[in-house]
Amino acid sequence: MNHFSTIPALGLTLAIPRDRAHNLLEQQIAKGTDLVRNKVSTEEAMEELKRNNWQWVLDTCAVLKEVFANESVALYFSSSVYFEVSVKLNDFERDLDEFPSIVRGRVDRLRAFQRTLPIIPEPPNGDFILAQFHPRIYAKTWRPFELAQYGPAIAAAVQELEDAVKQAVTGNLAEVGANLMRVAFHPDDGLLRDPEATLHENTGVSELFSGFMERYRNLPANSVFEIRETARILALASYLMYQVDLRTPKSEEEKIEFELLKDEDPPVY
């Protein structure tokens, strides 16, 4: 159960297998190193190098967003690098002094990310394991589960499932808990019933959701669960979450365009 797992001390998460993450970071480190391998001799070559650096930064940010689930890693990589400012007045000579430090600073950041990979759990291997746990359920429950806080892990899964159903019905229902599930999945007129399924099938789904809520919502504070039972409950919550996904219309994500990125001459670092 390692999907989208987190190292709390570092705040880093892996979204892809560790070996693939290592290879992708190694490629970007090599590309960054190549930028400062040879010293340029003309202003035109320096301008070309700046453009290549800008593209490398953009490409590396995309890679970091693929490697880590948290986008703050890419933001940190692309943020300003501290270096000793050159006192030379000529722009070209100043670039010769400062540019390598800027690139090497970001390469060092990539190497630091790469060194942390061995202590960051990787996603599960195999579609069978991955398919059992819904990302939303795992994101909410992995921390208490790893700390052996099984009651809180189950409570978090129940709350996440209830929130997902409320989102799916777009706030049109005032009920909560088991009553919410009965109304939302009512076989006759429930907003989340399957119109192509039979009455018995929709009734079964409605009772499955409501039964899960009746059993595990509002658990007593002294409830005791063991690890295997908890894992099975979380797997059931994941199955129910996937059922909600199947009954929720997929909406296209809003695309946001930043005017800064439309400039013909964007900053190179």
Other Cβ atoms less than 10 A from the Cβ of 127: the count is 8
CATH architecture of 133-246: Up-down Bundle (1.20)
Categorize the per-residue pLDDT at 90 as very low, low, confident or very high, splitting at 50, 70 and 90.
Answer: confident
Q: Which of 229, 240, 182 is nearest to 210 (CA)?
A: 182
What pTM was estimated for this model as a whole? 0.50
Q: Identify whether the C-beta of residue 14 lies closer than 8 Å to the C-beta of residue 122.
A: yes
- Model confidence pLDDT, tens digit, residues 175-200: 999 999 999 999 999 999 999 999 99
Q: Which of 250, 247, 241 is nearest to 141 (CA)?
A: 241
- Model confidence pLDDT, tens digit, residues 12-66: 778 788 889 999 999 999 999 999 998 888 999 999 999 999 999 999 999 998 8
Pick the residue with more confidence: 221 or 158? 158
Region 125-139: mean pLDDT is: 70
* Domain boundaries defined on the chain: 6-123, 133-246
Give the range among 124-133, 218-227, 259-268 with minimum mean pLDDT.
259-268
Q: State the distance between the two ends of the chain, measured CA to CA, in whole angstroms.
A: 40
